[in-house]
Structure 1
Amino acid sequence: MLKGIITLLIFQFIGECITTLFELLVPGPVIGMVLMLIFLMIRKSSFPSLDSAVFLHLRYLPLLFIPAAMGIITQVDIISKEFWAIFISLFIGTIVALAFSAKLMDYLTIKQESKK
């Protein structure tokens, strides 16, 4: 499991370095996560210590929503001023995400059926 946690931290560190080096607006952990996705796609599999580290973190994922909820509570005045902009962007974002997910599932289903 230690190897898996170190792997997660290395990819996060690489993402932070890229963000700092190129002065990007994208957070370092997001870049690290994309790099890890590319790494795992090239490798075509994971390894047991990474799986156990990820499952350990996923078990406590709901705890990460508490600070976000507190942020919403403390920013009520800003949210109330920008309610319609937030609502419309969330609505459009949800529609786009659903459409993309549906098209991706269609593509993957067709690809899976063509292999059989």
Structure 2
Amino acid sequence: MLKGIITLLIFQFLGECIAILFSLLVPGPVIGMILLLIFLIIRKSSFKSLDNSVGVLLRYLPLLFIPAAMGIITQMDLISKEFWAILIALVAGTLIALAFSAKLMDYLTSKQEKKS
């Protein structure tokens, strides 16, 4: 499990270094996750200690939503002022994501059918 946690921390560190070095607007941990994804695609598999570490972290993932919920509660006056803008952005973003996902699924399904 220690090897898995060290792997995650190394990729997060690399992501932070790249974000700082190139002054990117994307957070370092996001870049680190992309690097980890590329690493796992190249490797074509994961390893047991990484799987165990990720499983333990995912078990406690809901705890990370508590600060976000508190932020919403403390900013309720601002949210109530901008309610319609927030609602329209949420609905539009959801519809765009659904449309994109549907088109991507349609494309991948047709590509798979042509292959078979």
**CA separation in 2, counterparts of 1:58 and 1:104?**
27
Q: Deviations over 1:22-44 (max 9, x none)?
A: 11121111111111111112222
Partner-residue secondary structure (3-state), 2:25:
coil
Q: Normalization by structure 2: what TM-score?
A: 0.89
**CA separation in 2, counterparts of 1:98 and 1:39?**
29
Aligned Cα RMSD in Å? Answer: 1.6
Letter in 2 for 1:23: S
Compared CA separation, residues 113 and 46, structure 1 to 2 (3 A): farther
Q: Deviations over 1:29-72 (max 9, x none)?
A: 11111111111122221111111111111111111111110000
**CA separation in 2, counterparts of 1:42 and 1:5?**
20
**Which residue of structure 1 aligns with residue 62 of structure 2?**
62
Superposed, 1:29-48 pairs within 5 Å as 29-48=29-48
**CA separation in 2, counterparts of 1:47 and 1:104?**
30
**CA separation in 1, counterparts of 2:107 and 2:55?**
28
Number of aligned residue pairs: give it.
Answer: 116
**CA separation in 1, counterparts of 2:108 and 2:50?**
26
Query: Which is worse superposed, 63-72 or 74-83?
Result: 74-83
Q: Normalization by structure 1: what TM-score?
A: 0.89
Letter in 1 for 2:78: I
Letter in 2 for 1:61: L
Compared CA separation, residues 7 and 114, structure 1 to 2 (3 A): farther
Flag structure 2 segments of 5+ consecutive residues without an equivalent. Answer: none
Partner-residue secondary structure (3-state), 1:26:
coil
**CA separation in 2, counterparts of 1:88 and 1:80?**
14
Flag structure 1 segments of 5+ consecutive residues without an equivalent. Answer: none
Letter in 2 for 1:93: G
**Which residue of structure 2 aligns with residue 107 of structure 1?**
107
Letter in 2 for 1:90: L
